[in-house]
Structure 1
């Protein structure tokens, strides 16, 4: 298993992993209507733009030439007001066939290394309910819980709870 920087040519494979991860693993914590709405957002997502963005990192885990997972991170430069440098994990997804085999941990480690290199002092994220135990195992603490509209690109009106989490680096 190799973790590497994503390239635009990975976009379709990333979309496939994203949909499969949501539709299979999301059912552990959400109703089918919520899972369907969440996965629907993948159809209109612009993975290439995210891969090419200057203020983010997008990595993939590759296994025998196939994308088995992906993860992304955005960095917010402090404005000189004394606040900590913060990076936000915007996603860690693995294909269900390799779930709970360390792929997510390898992807996360690559993001954390990059955040540290940027000088981030804090990592934040919004976790789906099924991902909370994964992040807690990495030292994240729950900060809050809120209702999130799934598939905001399509205004479905289907909502579900997510958990805000953070850790200090």
Structure 2
């Protein structure tokens, strides 16, 4: 059974691994391999660990972490929706996104936003997100990648 929980310091390396594997598997046909490697290869930094501990959630299937997601409540930004390649197509990304949308509503965030990779934009549209224009996403390492900025209004509790 899939459960979603707040990430802890024990999830830093598995979240890094899932991100790397997911990007290389899902984005390969949409971006140059060298750009993907520059984006996700290497080892997690202390800054990465802090972000995981502060803003990440993980999806676990019978104890195995199989997906990640991140919500920055201050600005409604969704990031890091990654699913272990061996577990894609099982609705894990959709469940994580729904969880983050509910969490945003609980925190009074009415409009959420994200920057979709070119391969993921159709997935987000199927989940009710809007956005068609291609823009540039700058990674924390300074790499520039084409992305699709997207938004979604969510119901606010209360």
Q: Equivalent of 1:71, from 69, 72, 75?
A: 69
Partner of 1:147: 136
1:22 maps onto 2:23 in alignment: yes
Partner of 1:32: 33
Q: 1:41 to 1:125 in 2, by over 3 A?
A: farther
Q: Distance in 2 between matches of 1:45 and 1:32?
A: 25
Q: Distance in 2 between matches of 1:146 and 1:41?
A: 26
Matches within 5 A, 1:2-17: 2-17=3-18
Unaligned runs of 5+ in 2: none
Following TM superposition, the consecutive aligned residue runs of length 4 or more in structure 1 with deviations greater than 3 angstroms are: 41-47
* Matched position secondary structure for 2:82: strand
* Alpha-carbon shift at residue 143 of structure 1 (Å): 5.7
1:165 maps onto 2:150 in alignment: yes
Deviation string 1:62-104 (CA, Å, 9 cap, x unpaired) is: 123211010000022xxxxxxxxx5110221101111121010
Q: Is the 8 A contact 1:29 1:130 kept in 2?
A: yes
Alignment: residue pair count: 153
* Alpha-carbon shift at residue 149 of structure 1 (Å): 4.0
Q: Is the 8 A contact 1:129 1:161 kept in 2?
A: yes
Unaligned runs of 5+ in 1: 77-85
Partner of 1:105: 94
Q: Is the 8 A contact 1:70 1:93 kept in 2?
A: yes
Q: Equivalent of 1:126, from 107, 115, 127?
A: 115
* Matched position secondary structure for 1:142: coil
Deviation string 1:35-56 (CA, Å, 9 cap, x unpaired) is: 1112137643734311333xxx
Q: 1:45 to 1:144 in 2, by over 3 A?
A: farther
Q: 1:25 to 1:168 in 2, by over 3 A?
A: same
Partner of 2:58: 60
* Matched position secondary structure for 1:11: helix
TM-score of the pair, normalised by structure 1: 0.82
